[in-house]
A and B are shown apart, each in its own frame.
Chain A
Amino acid sequence: MQKYLSQQNFTTLLDKLITEGKRVVAPRLNSGTVLYEPLQSAAETVTDQLPRRSGKEAFFPLCEDIMSYRKEGQQVLLNDIDPARFPETVLVGVRPCDAAAVPVLDAVFSWDYKDEFFLERRRKTTIVGLACTTADDACFCTAVGLAPDNPKGADLFLTPLEGGGYACETYSEKGEQLIQAHRQLFDEPRNSTALPLAQPQTETVDLKKVKAWLDEHFEDPAWDSIATRCVGCGACAFVCPVCHCFDIVDEGTEKSGKRRKNWDACGFWKFTHHASGHNPRDQQPKRYRNRIMHKFKYYDDKFGQILCTGCGRCIRLCPVGIDIASIVEEISKK
């Protein structure tokens, strides 16, 4: 289904959704930093910047309670969190690199164990994608097979038009339902031309070649030259739209407390530290190798897709300038 949505009606739509009691998550300013966060009002939406963190947290929060406990006398009372209580959500203004990440994550969260925390939020969320009209030299979606107007993962996709407003196209039943429920706000498609799309400047990378090299080079001196500089923080994984490792911790007192699920990162020394004291990834290049292997080999081996959407966040935010786009490009030329 194709429609036109004026800028005015875009705002009205978000405010209506909020009034209906939906959780509307969109890019907004939080003390100077743009993040995907629940809106109080449509006016908060910031559509001209890629949010600092990705959209994954709408489904896989930075930190969430998964259980609580309380001791009463000799009894320990356990309380599960009920995913059925998660709110209906509309995730709006999602960049193609963030929207495309969601089906990539579906694979791992519904594989052997069905992660109901992720899946229930996924079922209850409608994703409204937004095409990119600007890119910087860290953006590399085109190098990994995506594009500034690729609707992968979106239920409804918006393309900004010359003179304002958006061309809307639906890609799922959820997208159609969203339009149907608010059809008075959507007009018939117009002939306006789309605003010029962003043009990421990185070359296309031959991912098959990258995979072929990774298949054979678990041990290689290249890992040292790539990652000796890595300082072992979690910035790259935490801002990544598809990194999905988490840690489970119990926090509280003897009387009461909570079991919580937090983002984790393979760059951390502690990530593979065994209780025995042994650490199979005892040096930073081995940890960084895992990051590349997981993204461009292991995930591909297991699920037939790569674990990178080219958003460029890890490049912009790496404290020591590690550039995954140039690493992958270099590997493809080996």
Chain B
Amino acid sequence: MTHAIDTSIYSAVTDAIRGEAQRILSEGQVSAVVGYAAARRKGSAQPIVINQADDAAKLIFTPACVNNLAVYLTKAKKEIPKTGKIGIVVKGCDLKALVGLMGESQLKRENLYLIGIPCAGVLASTIQPDKELTHDSIASKCRECDVHLPTGCDFLPSQQPGTPELEKRYAAEIARLETMTPAERWKYWKEQFSKCIKCYACRQVCPFCFCEQCLCDRNKPQMVETTPRPAGNFAWHVVRAMHLAGRCAGCAECERVCPMDIPLNLLNRKMAKELKELFEHEAGLEVNEKGPLASFSEKDDQSFIK
């Protein structure tokens, strides 16, 4: 039985963000607004950057607005103007990434105009964009969402999203993997990583992969084999998971875009779980300049030093 998820507020939300984008652009409060626009395929949406108040009418919010637009504000994206204030449409999960980027001195709050989205959820990557949002078609990350209403935005439409209780798939899958023997787990990930084609879509959509030159693109010396073969694939995904530990707040963009269906967010959720257990740290909740892996405290567990 497929239960529909109520997304009837999305058309009112669309009107509200159009109005606000129109206002801040025409008043010159921002130089650009990053949001979503409809695309050719039925029901589909794509990111758009608008500079003119008239273009605000192009903005939409629908269950197909899956992207985390925070990536467009990082220094990896040089095409978006970085001067002056920029407006950005953010779901709660996207806002966590922006908070993290502020903590890492990549963005300044005063340079952002945050247009929040009351969000009941978006579609999974495997679903055609014109399909209805249901308990089955919703993205896995939305099943464990705790930020249907982003806080601290400059503008938030007044609509209240429905928040049905859904079974948490990442938690269940992590529990399943944790009960495996190391050999079984090794086999599981070996099979998953064997599909990797090194297209780096995971890296390119990640708001936290903002290095000017990725370690994995270096060839003098070469740190990680660049060929899509077992050694290099393993190294790449493990390096990335470690580099995101304590920083990734679970927007799951890496997993959504992987053309080979590798469950990458599982790695990130597992790391987040460890960080929570070890340091009581959760990424994306507050602007924090020193994450647990970037600071030392005498209270840290030192039992591993023998």
Interface residue ranges, A against B (CB under 8 Å): 30-33, 35, 52-53, 62-63, 136-138, 224, 228-229, 231-235, 237-239, 247, 249, 251, 260, 262-263, 265, 268-270, 283-285, 315, 317, 319-323, 325-326
Closest Cβ neighbor of B203 among chain A residues = A233
Please tell me which one of the listed residues A136, A234, A249, A283 contacts residue B78 in the complex, with CB atoms under 8 A apart. Answer: A283
Query: Across chains A and B, which 8 residue pairs bring their CB atoms closest together, nearest first?
Result: A321-B46, A319-B257, A233-B201, A233-B204, A234-B199, A326-B40, A231-B204, A235-B201
**B197 with A321: CB separation less than 8 A:** no
List of B residues within 8 angstroms of A321 by Cβ: 39, 44-47, 67
**A320 with B228: CB separation less than 8 A:** no
**B197 with A62: CB separation less than 8 A:** yes
Given contacts A30-B195, A265-B199, A320-B46, contact A285 B71 (CB under 8 A): no
Which residues B100-137 have CB closer than 8 A to chain A? 128
CB distance from A55 to the nearest CB of B (A): 15
**B39 with A262: CB separation less than 8 A:** no
Q: Is B227 an interface residue (CB 8 A)?
A: yes
**B41 with A270: CB separation less than 8 A:** no
**B259 with A231: CB separation less than 8 A:** no
19 A-B pairs within 8 Å (CB atoms) are namely A30-B195, A52-B260, A52-B261, A53-B259, A63-B227, A63-B228, A137-B41, A231-B71, A235-B199, A237-B199, A247-B226, A251-B225, A262-B198, A262-B228, A284-B79, A319-B67, A319-B253, A320-B67, A321-B46
**B257 with A325: CB separation less than 8 A:** no
Please tell me which one of the listed residues B40, B192, B201 contacts residue A319 in the complex, with CB atoms under 8 A apart. Answer: B201
Please tell me which one of the listed residues A31, A32, A239 contacts residue B259 in the complex, with CB atoms under 8 A apart. Answer: A239
Closest Cβ neighbor of B192 among chain A residues = A31
List of B residues within 8 angstroms of A269 by Cβ: 217
**B205 with A229: CB separation less than 8 A:** no
**B41 with A33: CB separation less than 8 A:** no
Closest Cβ neighbor of B34 among chain A residues = A229
- Bitwise, B167-203 to A at CB < 8 A (1) or not (0) is 0000000000000000000000001100101111101
**B195 with A235: CB separation less than 8 A:** no
Q: How far is the CA of A232 from the CA of B212 in the complex (A)?
A: 13
List of B residues within 8 angstroms of A270 by Cβ: 217
List of B residues within 8 angstroms of A265 by Cβ: 199
Closest Cβ neighbor of A227 among chain B residues = B79
List of A residues within 8 angstroms of B201 by Cβ: 231, 233-235, 319
**B40 with A262: CB separation less than 8 A:** no
Q: How far is the CA of A265 from the CA of B222 in the complex (A)?
A: 19
**B227 with A262: CB separation less than 8 A:** yes
List of A residues within 8 angstroms of B45 by Cβ: 321
**B49 with A137: CB separation less than 8 A:** no
Sample of 9 more A-B contacts, CB < 8 Å, known A228-B80, A319-B204: A228-B49, A232-B76, A233-B200, A233-B257, A251-B227, A262-B198, A319-B205, A321-B46, A323-B39
List of A residues within 8 angstroms of B253 by Cβ: 319
CB distance from A160 to the nearest CB of B (A): 23
List of B residues within 8 angstroms of A317 by Cβ: 257, 259
**A322 with B46: CB separation less than 8 A:** yes
List of B residues within 8 angstroms of A320 by Cβ: 46-47, 67, 205
List of A residues within 8 angstroms of B260 by Cβ: 33, 52
Q: How far is the CA of A315 from the CA of B44 in the complex (A)?
A: 11
**B261 with A32: CB separation less than 8 A:** yes
Which residues B246-269 have CB closer than 8 A to chain A? 253, 256-257, 259-261
List of B residues within 8 angstroms of A30 by Cβ: 195
Closest Cβ neighbor of A231 among chain B residues = B204
List of A residues within 8 angstroms of B192 by Cβ: 31
Please tell me which one of the listed residues B67, B199, B229 contacts residue A238 in the complex, with CB atoms under 8 A apart. Answer: B199
CB distance from A80 to the nearest CB of B (A): 19
Given contacts A31-B195, A268-B200, contact A249 B79 (CB under 8 A): no
Which residues B56-112 have CB closer than 8 A to chain A? 67, 71-72, 76-80
From A53, A231, A262, A283, name the one whose CB has the most chain B CB atoms within 10 angstroms.
A231
- Bitwise, B278-303 to A at CB < 8 A (1) or not (0) is 00000000000000000000000000
CB distance from B304 to the nearest CB of A (A): 31
- Bitwise, B141-156 to A at CB < 8 A (1) or not (0) is 0000000000000000
Closest Cβ neighbor of A137 among chain B residues = B41
Closest Cβ neighbor of B232 among chain A residues = A251
Q: Is B24 an interface residue (CB 8 A)?
A: no
**B199 with A33: CB separation less than 8 A:** no
List of B residues within 8 angstroms of A283 by Cβ: 78-79
Please tell me which one of the listed residues B40, B77, B228, B259 contacts residue A325 in the complex, with CB atoms under 8 A apart. Answer: B40
Q: Is B306 an interface residue (CB 8 A)?
A: no
Closest Cβ neighbor of A327 among chain B residues = B40
**A224 with B257: CB separation less than 8 A:** no
Q: Is B9 an interface residue (CB 8 A)?
A: no
CB distance from B218 to the nearest CB of A (A): 10
List of A residues within 8 angstroms of B199 by Cβ: 233-235, 237-238, 265
List of A residues within 8 angstroms of B227 by Cβ: 63, 249, 251, 260, 262
**B229 with A63: CB separation less than 8 A:** yes
Please tell me which one of the listed residues B79, B217, B225, B256 contacts residue A285 in the complex, with CB atoms under 8 A apart. Answer: B79
List of B residues within 8 angstroms of A234 by Cβ: 197-201
Closest Cβ neighbor of A265 among chain B residues = B199
Q: Is B42 an interface residue (CB 8 A)?
A: yes
CB distance from A125 to the nearest CB of B (A): 21
CB distance from B34 to the nearest CB of A (A): 9
Q: Is B275 an interface residue (CB 8 A)?
A: no
List of B residues within 8 angstroms of A137 by Cβ: 41-42
